[in-house]
Amino acid sequence: MPVTQNMNQLEPTVLAKSDADEVPAISVQGLVKTFGHGSNQITALDDVSIDIQQNEFFTLLGPSGCGKTTLLRLIAGFELPDSGTVLLHGEGIEHLPPHMRPVNTVFQSYALFPHISVADNIGFGLRMLGWNKAKIANVVEKMLDMVRLSDLANRQPDQLSGGQQQRVALARALAPAPRVLLLDEPLAALDLKLRKEMQIELKRLQDQTGITFVFVTHDQEEALTMSDRIAVMSAGRVLQVGQPKEIYDAPEHRFVADFIGDINVLPGQVKHRQNGKLVVVIAGGSEVHLPDDGIQSDSLFVAVRPEKATLAKSGTGVLSGVVNNIVFFGSGTNIHVSLSDGVDFVVQTQGSETGLSLGDGVSVNFADSAAKILRN
């Protein structure tokens, strides 16, 4: 078991940066996983390939049923792929059972062992690895300190709050210093305030330990806040992989654009293509000039983020319409404009004073660079 021996080192710095640039921490290639038989067969993963770099905070983002948890379970070893490979630091592990993989999981339900103390929960993995008691006690103490639960070492899990249980689950999974930590919607059960705290806590732990985190969530805001890179998944496929900013600013796919943040999607027709530029006619006959990314189809969708658009006096902008709703949300106001073809277009403004009232005729303006072409 060459793989299982290396993980006993606790010092996070052993993962040298130079090494990180060469071999991905996790590389899945052509993973296919189906459940059920015959007409009940469901394809959970449909030819998924992803490289996750070392020391990276990598997020699998998508709605429930998109296959993100299945992918995590394939990496952990709870499921076996129908085809495809899982490489951990370049070594194939898809044939190994979970207890032979130097990868640990933080479960959505925490799954703390109810019959043993907090300290024993954290030391569980090390006991199974056959460490001696003194070394285990040492690491457990460090872990308790790291998640700030030193006072509660001798409590039973059911005597802890949800947030504390979550931190124990984290410490338990980090104690054996796994090569990769898998987190399956670990914050979903926490209330909003606690969730925000834990997001920061998780980020801190990842920096501190230098362990690669693979984080599964359906919460796009959480994904944008925490991740180094995000893979957006839908229906068993990976649609786009990129840094949060890329995913947000340049969604390639209509699903990605819709799923991440608010966005206005307008149907458009290509009028002509020239010099690497597309001239697209959108609602109301307005033209936008967009870079030609080689899209074949003539009918496409153009997306504009609400905060990239501005309102102007009627008759002076790209699009025109009528204000049909004004929604104040604290740091700003969303103004819903009903366009001439009936499509709703949202413009986000700062502050609460807009000087507009329902039924006002307005124009919507945005720069060509704010508009993105989406694939359907």
Name the minimum Å distance from CB 218 to other proteins: 19
**Distance between CA atoms of residues 60 and 64, nearest Å:** 11
Residue count of the chain, please give it: 376
Verify binding: residue 129, other proteins, rule CB under 8 A.
yes
Nearest approach in angstroms of CB 113 to other proteins is 6
What is the gyration radius of the CA atoms in the chain, in angstroms?
25
Q: Give the shortest CB-36-to-other proteins separation in angstroms.
A: 13
Q: Is 186 in the site for other proteins (CB under 8 A)?
A: no
Query: Does 322 participate in binding other proteins (rule CB under 8 A)?
Result: no
CA 304/CA 367 separation, integer angstroms: 10
User: Binding to other proteins by residue 189, rule CB under 8 A?
Assistant: no
* Options 104, 164, 227, 264; binder of other proteins; rule CB under 8 A: 104
Q: Which of 62, 125, 163, 306 binds other proteins (CB under 8 A)?
A: 125
Instruction: Confirm or reject binding of residue 105 to other proteins (CB under 8 A).
Output: yes
Among 33, 68, 172, 229, binds other proteins (CB under 8 A): 172
> Quick one: which segment of 31-39, 72-80, 189-197, 286-294 binds other proteins (CB under 8 A)?
72-80
Q: What is the closest distance, in whole angstroms, from the C-beta atom of residue 175 to other proteins in the complex?
A: 9
Stretch that binds other proteins, among 16-24, 75-83, 252-260, 354-362 (CB under 8 A): 75-83
Contact 365, 310 (CB under 8 A): yes
Cβ atoms of residues 197 and 151 within 8 Å: no
Count, residues near other proteins per rule CB under 8 A: 27
Any contact of residue 99 with other proteins (CB under 8 A)? Answer: yes
- Calpha distance 304→150 (Å, rounded): 49
Cα maximum dimension of the chain: 78
**Residue 107 found at the interface with other proteins (CB under 8 A):** yes
* Contact with other proteins (CB under 8 A) among 11, 13, 38, 114: 114
* Residue 258 interacts with other proteins (CB under 8 A): yes or no: no
Instruction: Find, among 227, 176, 181, the residue nearest to 60 by Cα.
Output: 227
Least Cα distance to 53 among 285, 229, 298 occurs for 229
Among 34, 53, 117, 225, binds other proteins (CB under 8 A): 117
Site stretch for other proteins (CB under 8 A), options 53-61, 110-118, 244-252, 329-337 = 110-118
* Under 8 Å between Cβ of 72 and 261: no
The residue type found at 342 is G
DSSP 181-231: EEEESTTTTS-HHHHHHHHHHHHHHHHHH--EEEEEES-HHHHHHH-SEEE
Stretch that binds other proteins, among 105-113, 208-216, 237-245, 355-363 (CB under 8 A): 105-113
366 binds other proteins (CB under 8 A): no
Q: How far lies 368's CA from each of 29, 35, 125, 277, in Å?
A: 37, 45, 55, 11
Smaller CB distance to other proteins: residue 117 or 365?
Answer: 117
Q: How far apart are the first and last CA of the chain?
A: 46
Residues that bind other proteins (CB under 8 A): 4, 76-78, 97-99, 103-105, 107, 109, 111-117, 124-125, 128-129, 156, 172-173, 176
